Amino acid sequence: MSAPTLPETEPKSHRQVLEALSGLLLVLFVAMVSSTIVSIALPQIIGSLNGTQSQYTWVVTAALLTTTASTPIWGKLADLFDKKLLIEIAIGIFLVASLACGFAQNTPMLIAFRAVQGLGMGALQILVQVVIAAIIPPKERGKYNGYLGGVLAVATVGGPLLGGVITDTSWLGWRWCFFLPIPFTLIALVVLHRTLNVMSVRRPETSVDYPGAILIAAGVSLLLIWVTFVGNSFDWISWQTLAMVGVSIVLLVAATWVESVVKEPVVPLHVVRRPTPALAILVSVAVGMAMFGGAVFLGQYFQIGRGYSPTESGLLTIPMMFGTLVSSTISGQLVSRSGRTRPYIIAGSIVLTLGFLIMSTIDHETSMVIVGLGMLVIGVGVGMCMQNLVLAVQNTVPLREVGAATGAITFFRSLGGTIGVSVLGAVLANRVTADITEGFAKAGIRPSGSQDGSTLNMAAMPEPIRVIVRAAYGDATGHIFLVSAGIAVVGIVAALFLKPARLRESVDLVEPAPPAEARR
């Protein structure tokens, strides 16, 4: 057996770091653009496929769910195997799944392909952060995280705009939202292959905890399926609720037991039990639930609730992305100078909650100035929180555990986002149904077939029906942001309990020297 390859511990120059980052940031940029292109086009996609509100939610949830379930596995694999090869495999998965999504013929098919796409998305999210952690000391990482946040912000601004233009262009159509990023993904793969050089710790004697991952995925999936259908297909108090929730709890308890006894757990309990990671994870869950859950439905609000085109909807999301870009860049620089993350996490959590409270006041007639202000404030809060939470956790673990620790916090953030999308999607669907029913009753309309507002194909609805459906979606969106604000408050409380700590200046955690008497 060959000797293990040890990671580089010598600091890299700024030029070397930028060369290594070029491929990583390009890959992440293409993946984010591919995702955000779809987000703004989704109302049109679901409408053309005659999908329903529940299917709209599951197109998003399916990708988030597989991203969540696979993230800790990719993080653990990054601790064991070649990080560069893993990223290249993830790009391949993402590319093939994107192509398949473009050829989807109905919403169930699209949901299935989006689930596969989520596997690649989960890998790219975690592996890019793991590689950055392997080559840049935590104190310097804040500065480079500013670059990372800038790339993400540009991608999230450019994606919706590009998606809107593609969807509005008659000779392209929504399928090109999946096809167009493919050649750029191939270019990113070539650049990554040529520029990224990172040493890896290779421990072939270890294994990945697949049973734990399967139990976690099964337990969470069943819980989300229950959230989607409860209140519509069956009552809150029913045998279906008892069966689904009961089995979910059993699966998640079993997963916790497995994680506590296996040698290489997917979610390392010894890491998440530490005060800083535990609190950072709690903040990430709250931020993920609120942010993903609220932002996912903005495109639907603009297009269905307010009647804007996909291109106009993309333009209207710029305030949120601008806020993220500016705050992530500035807070990243300030973190590197001060060596502290706690003040920015607390401030970001408060600002994020304030943004949700502003957005909770919107309806189908709210001034777009107020909507833009609310999105700007949300973006500022997100930019201050997301990467600093990861950095706070990475600062507490040695290099050999960076992959697992980063995977753990990313897992719980994605889990929060997945639950948030499902819960808030269910809240939105129930509110929309009630408002549409009330609107039909007041107008004396007896809907039937495709004219009952249950599908999102607005073009197929008569004008009176369309007016009622638009008002219902516009008014209901404010309610989900109010729920998001309540969730975000939990993040503020958890952030306040974070222990103040300075970021270390070395890539690896330096173990304290033993006492003099112990060395004798």
Q: Is residue 410 part of a domain?
A: yes
Residue 155 lies in a domain: yes
**For residue 302, is pLDDT > 60?**
yes
Question: What's the pLDDT at 450?
Answer: 47
- pLDDT for res 390: 77
Q: What is the phi-psi region of residue 200: left when phi exceeds 0, alpha when psi lies from -120 to 50, beta otherwise?
A: beta
d(CA 329, CA 147): 7
**Mean model confidence pLDDT for the chain:** 77
pLDDT band for position 305 (cuts 50, 70, 90): confident
Confidence of residue 5 (pLDDT cuts 50, 70, 90): very low
Question: Residue 190: CB partners within 8 Å, gap ≥ 6?
Answer: none
Q: Are 9 and 507 in contact (CB under 8 A)?
A: yes
Q: What pLDDT was estimated at residue 145?
A: 64
Residues 259 and 269 in one domain: no
For residues 32 and 176, which has the higher predicted lDDT (pLDDT)? 176
Q: Is the residue at 107 inside a domain?
A: yes
**Residue 52 phi, psi dihedral angles, 5° rounding:** -110, 175
Residue type at 113? Answer: F
Give a yes or no: residue 453 inside a domain: no
Rg over CA atoms, the chain: 23
DSSP-based helix, strand, coil % in the chain, nearest 5: 75, 0, 20
Helices (H), 262-341: 269-272, 275-295, 298-300, 310-316, 318-338
- CATH number, domain of 362, equals 1.20.1250.20
| More confident: 506 or 80 | 80
- Taking the C-alpha atoms of residue 450 and residue 141, their distance in angstroms, rounded to an integer, is 53
Same domain (yes/no): 321, 226 = no
In DSSP terms, 52 is beta-bridged to 455
Together in a domain, 286 and 430: yes
242 contacts: CB under 8 Å, gap ≥ 6: none
Contact 309, 166 (CB under 8 A): no
- Which of the listed residues 263, 284, 307 is the one where a domain comes to its end? 263
CA dist 144 → 124, 189, 321, 372, 395 (Å):
17, 21, 18, 28, 15
Distances (CA, A) of 94 to 24, 39, 113, 124: 15, 16, 10, 9
152 and 276 co-located in one domain: yes
Name the token pair of 215. 């139990």
The more confident residue out of 477 and 454 is 477
Whether residue 215 is found in the same domain as residue 356 = no
Domain shared by 279 and 344, yes or no: yes
Whether residues 243 and 167 fall in one domain = no
Lowest mean pLDDT among 340-344, 350-354, 415-419, 469-473: 415-419
Quote the pLDDT of residue 6.
38
CB 299 within 8 A of CB 167: no
Question: 519 pLDDT exceeds 50?
Answer: no
Q: What is the pLDDT of residue 246?
A: 92
What is the full DSSP assignment across 117-167?
HHHHHHHHHHHHHHHHHHHS-HHHHHHHHHHHHHHHHHHHHHHHHHHHHHH
Q: What integer is the mean pLDDT of 470-485?
A: 86
**Domain that includes residue 390, residue range:** 14-197+264-443+458-504
Output 500 or 362, whichever has higher pLDDT: 362
According to the model, what pLDDT value does residue 100 have? 92
pLDDT confidence of residue 10: 52
Better-scored residue on pLDDT, 175 or 132 = 175
In this structure, the answer to whether residues 227 and 300 fall within a common structural domain is: no
Same domain for 176 and 247, yes or no, is: no
What is the biggest distance separating any 2 CA atoms in the chain, rounded to whole angstroms? 91
The answer as to whether 49 is a domain residue is yes
Digit-coded pLDDT (tens) for 216-251? 878 877 877 787 677 667 777 888 889 988 999 999
Query: Do 286 and 252 share a structural domain?
Result: no
* Stretch among 115-119, 223-227, 432-436 having the lowest mean pLDDT: 223-227
Mark which of 243, 263, 283 sits at the end of a domain: 263
From the list 222, 224, 220, the residue with the least C-alpha distance to 57 is: 224
Q: Mean pLDDT across the stretch 5-23?
A: 60
Q: Are 383 and 333 in contact (CB under 8 A)?
A: no
Global pTM reads 0.72
Residue 462 forms part of a structural domain: yes
In a domain, 381, yes or no: yes
CB-based burial of residue 272 (10 Å sphere; 0-12 exposed, 13-18 middle, 19+ buried)?
buried
Structure tokens given for 335: 């973190």
- Distances, alpha carbon 87 to alpha carbons 122, 131, 185, in Å: 11, 10, 12
Say whether both 437 and 486 belong to one domain. yes
Give the pLDDT score at 55.
80
Q: Does residue 518 lie within any of the structural domains?
A: no
* 256 and 269 belong to one structural domain: no
Measured over the CA atoms of residue 191, residue 194, residue 199 and residue 201, the dihedral's sign is: positive
CB 29 within 8 A of CB 155: yes
Task: Using pLDDT thresholds of 50, 70 and 90, give the confidence band for residue 513.
Answer: very low
Mean predicted confidence (pLDDT) in 491-504:
79
Q: What percent of the chain has pLDDT over 70?
A: 81
3-state SS, residue 230: strand
Domain count of the fold of the chain? 2
User: Domain end: 242, 263, 284, which one?
Assistant: 263
> Which whole number is the average pLDDT over 395-413?
71
